[in-house]
């Protein structure tokens, strides 16, 4: 079964109507790469109703965009609204044809894709990727723009807003739109070809499968994916496709090899020279080598008898079935099609009659297309903090790359009796009206099981200016007033964040880098959990040092011509070094025993 989450990672509104089976391509159109001026290769494919589509019979009254797409490629899903808007603004002069050449995308799945999106233009299946070969297409979404004479005038990316793992607030180059505008004026586009960023087309084996290979999916690759990838890449989770079945995985084989070699996946940004972290998902050199060898051998399945038992996950919740679930709002919240939505703050009564001790917490986003992050705090209504410096209002959060809160035995966060949950939600419009209904789930332990209270603290600097076109170093520090054990670190910046470092300066003058993130990525809000809690004696200073890049060298920079200050919105900046800690000498179990003895 293909990954079809109900809370789809992105809204797909591409103006297409789909499908395919069986294909023929004119023999004289087969070549390595179409060049500007070449005519569109003739092809005959079928739609999902079995009706033939013959490209040679296209009327010559319109220009034609041929876009190669995959139903689960994240960049395809990002660019769907833009293609829809281009067609909507040029209905009499422009048509779009979608071609799916992925071996892993079945006709049934493309039909579901089209039905779900209510598309109304052709989506065609390209069996055996013969049409993709004729065009020389390699990735999705790759576009080919032909004029009314069916001559190629532009090939490549739609614009420059997105690339691998990064995106701008808005595009600064509109390649396809500019090319369309040029041919409407009977001119040639100034830019006729660009590189396409996106997912590699899952071809039907670029080379013959080597059945003698010692590296197979059944023997090694499935185990690597189960261990390092399947927690997110499975049905119902945040990743855009599943990696738990060979027929799905084989179509992504080349893409898996590429992102592993480039260290884009699994997402992890800590410098390995500093600190040991138990949630490090990185692949070993041997695992990377096995993946590369497997792809070179044609991604063989191997003997099915060697397949491991599938990994077991709790359906719907990574933390297991919660003891309590609270919706962020009673009714779905409406998000407009455009503009900037201020941070939303929702308050929900817990009605707890006694303190609750949280061992695990998870935020489940209702509509991942429009929710950037959700923070969950507690309002204590005037109650003083009852656990000293360690007590805090922060309970949990969700953001790109963030994992649910799961604490070790004996550790817990506390939600006081009568507390109110406060949700901060950051919505980002995507071009069409949307709704969201998110929730948070908690798993509790008994008070008698709690040894130490966990608090989330922060080190921040709000008084800075990042000059236009420049880099800027910003620092902040905090001195520990009690002996503490630090459990995890969470650096936070926005689009201009370049690097972040935590350094402990001990009372005896020694210094130790606790965490260095040399290439900060706003799209992956990783937390870094120490393998062993880090003891910071009273008087230890934690120094946080951040570097911001407000220049044109920063791909994600919203506007390098503006000075930037602290602010909530992502086109402003933040500098926060969060950390989870407990008091090293605190033992609530001992205190409880002492009270009972008295």
Residue 315 scores a pLDDT above 90:
no
Backbone angles phi, psi at 76, to 5 degrees: -60, -45
The predicted model scores a pTM of 0.81
Backbone angles phi, psi at 61, to 5 degrees: -95, -5
pLDDT band for position 7 (cuts 50, 70, 90): very low
CATH number attached to the domain at 17-200 = 3.40.30.10
Residue 3 scores a pLDDT above 60:
no
> Residue 48 has what pLDDT?
67
pLDDT band for position 589 (cuts 50, 70, 90): low
If you write DSSP's letter for every residue of 150-196 in order, what string do you get?
-BEEEEE-S-SSEETTEE-SS-S--HHHHHHHHHHTT---S--B---
| Cβ neighbours of residue 329 closer than 8 Å, sequence gap 6 or more | 346, 437
Joined tokens for residue 270: 């800590």
Per-residue pLDDT averaged across 394-419, rounded? 90
* Choice among 5-14, 205-214, 260-269, 464-473 with the minimum mean pLDDT: 5-14
- Average pLDDT of the chain? 87
Pairing of β 576-583 and β 484-492: antiparallel
Q: Which of 499, 469, 512, 468 is nearest to 575 (CA)?
A: 499
Q: Could you write out the three-class secondary structure of 13-64?
A: CCCCEECCCCCEECHHHCCCCCCCCCECCCEEEECCCCCEEEHHHCCCCCEE
> Residue 351 has what pLDDT?
95
pLDDT tens sequence across 328-342: 999 999 999 888 888
Distances (CA, A) of 182 to 69, 187, 431: 25, 5, 25
pLDDT tens sequence across 147-202: 999 999 999 999 998 877 677 778 889 999 999 999 999 999 999 999 999 999 99
Fold of 315-453: Jelly Rolls (2.60.120)
Identical fold between 315-453 and 455-598 = yes
CATH number attached to the domain at 455-598 = 2.60.120.230
pLDDT tens sequence across 358-386: 999 999 999 988 898 899 999 865 455 54
Q: What's the rounded Cα separation, in Å, for the pair 154 and 136?
A: 13
- Classify residue 408 by its DSSP letter: P
> Residue 535 has what pLDDT?
96
State what percent of residues in the chain have pLDDT above 70.
88
Q: Which residues of 314-331 are buried (b: 16+ CB within 10 A; e: fewer)?
A: eeebbbeebeeebbbbee
* Choice among 49-53, 209-213, 258-262 with the minimum mean pLDDT: 209-213
Joined tokens for residue 159: 């614009």
Domain locations in the chain as residue ranges? 17-200, 217-306, 315-453, 455-598
Pairing of β 452-453 and β 411-415: parallel
Joined tokens for residue 307: 């397949």
> Residue 587 has what pLDDT?
76
């Amino acid at each position: 079964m293909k990954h079809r989450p109900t809370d789809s990672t992105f809204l797909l509104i591409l103006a297409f109507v789909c499908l395919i089976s069986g294909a023929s391509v004119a023999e004289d159109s087969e070549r390595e790469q179409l060049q500007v001026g070449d005519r569109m290769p003739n092809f005959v494919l079928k739609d999902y109703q079995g009706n033939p589509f013959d490209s040679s019979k296209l009327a010559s009254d319109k220009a034609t965009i041929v876009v190669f797409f995959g139903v689960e490629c994240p960049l395809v899903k990002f660019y769907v609204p833009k293609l829809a808007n281009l067609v909507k603004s040029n209905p009499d002069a422009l048509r779009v044809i979608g071609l799916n050449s992925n071996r892993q995308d079945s006709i049934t799945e493309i039909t579901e894709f089209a039905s779900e999106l209510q598309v109304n233009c052709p989506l065609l299946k390209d069996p055996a990727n013969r049409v993709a070969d004729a065009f020389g297409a390699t990735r999705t979404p790759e576009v080919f723009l032909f004029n009314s004479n069916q001559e190629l005038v532009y090939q490549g990316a739609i614009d420059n807003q997105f690339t691998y793992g990064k995106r701008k607030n808005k595009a600064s180059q509109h390649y396809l739109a500019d090319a369309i505008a040029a041919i409407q004026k009977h001119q040639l586009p100034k830019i006729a070809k660009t590189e396409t960023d996106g997912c590699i087309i899952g071809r039907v084996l670029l080379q013959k499968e080597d059945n003698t290979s010692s590296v197979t999916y059944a023997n090694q690759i499935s185990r690597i994916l189960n261990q390092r990838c399947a927690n997110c890449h499975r049905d119902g989770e945040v990743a855009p496709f599943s990696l738990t079945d060979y027929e799905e995985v084989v179509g992504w084989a080349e893409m898996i090899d590429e992102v592993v070699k480039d260290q884009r996946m699994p997402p992890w940004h800590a410098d390995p020279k500093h600190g040991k972290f138990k949630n490090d998902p990185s692949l070993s050199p041997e695992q990377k080598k096995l993946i590369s060898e497997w792809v070179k051998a044609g991604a063989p399945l191997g003997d099915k008898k060697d397949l491991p038992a599938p990994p077991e996950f709790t359906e719907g919740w990574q933390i297991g079935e919660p003891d309590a679930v609270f919706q962020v709002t009673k009714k779905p919240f409406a998000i407009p099609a455009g503009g900037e939505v201020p941070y939303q703050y929702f308050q929900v009564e817990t009605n707890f009659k006694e303190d609750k001790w949280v061992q695990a917490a998870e935020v489940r986003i209702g509509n991942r297309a429009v929710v950037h992050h959700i923070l969950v705090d507690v309002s204590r209504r005037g109650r003083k903090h009852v656990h000293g410096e360690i007590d805090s209002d922060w309970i949990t959060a969700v953001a790109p790359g963030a994992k649910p809160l799961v604490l070790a035995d004996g550790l817990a966060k506390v939600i006081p009796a009568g507390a109110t949950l406060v949700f901060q939600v950051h919505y980002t419009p995507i071009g069409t009206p949307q709704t969201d209904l998110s929730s948070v789930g908690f798993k509790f332990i008994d008070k008698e099981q709690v040894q130490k209270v966990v608090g989330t603290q922060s080190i921040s600097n709000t008084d800075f200016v990042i000059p236009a076109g420049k880099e800027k170093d910003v620092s902040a520090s905090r001195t520990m007033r009690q002996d503490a054990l630090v459990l995890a670190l969470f650096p936070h910046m926005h689009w201009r964040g370049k690097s972040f470092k935590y350094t402990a300066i001990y009372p005896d003058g020694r210094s130790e880098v606790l965490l260095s993130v040399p290439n900060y990525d706003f799209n992956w809000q990783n937390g870094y959990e120490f393998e062993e809690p880090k003891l910071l004696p009273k008087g230890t200073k934690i120094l946080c040092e951040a570097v911001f890049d407000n220049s044109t060298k920063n791909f994600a920079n919203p506007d390098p011509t503006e000075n930037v200050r602290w602010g909530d919105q992502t086109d402003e900046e933040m500098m926060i070094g969060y950390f989870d800690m407990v008091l090293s000498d605190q033992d609530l179990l001992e205190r409880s025993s002492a009270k009972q003895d008295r």
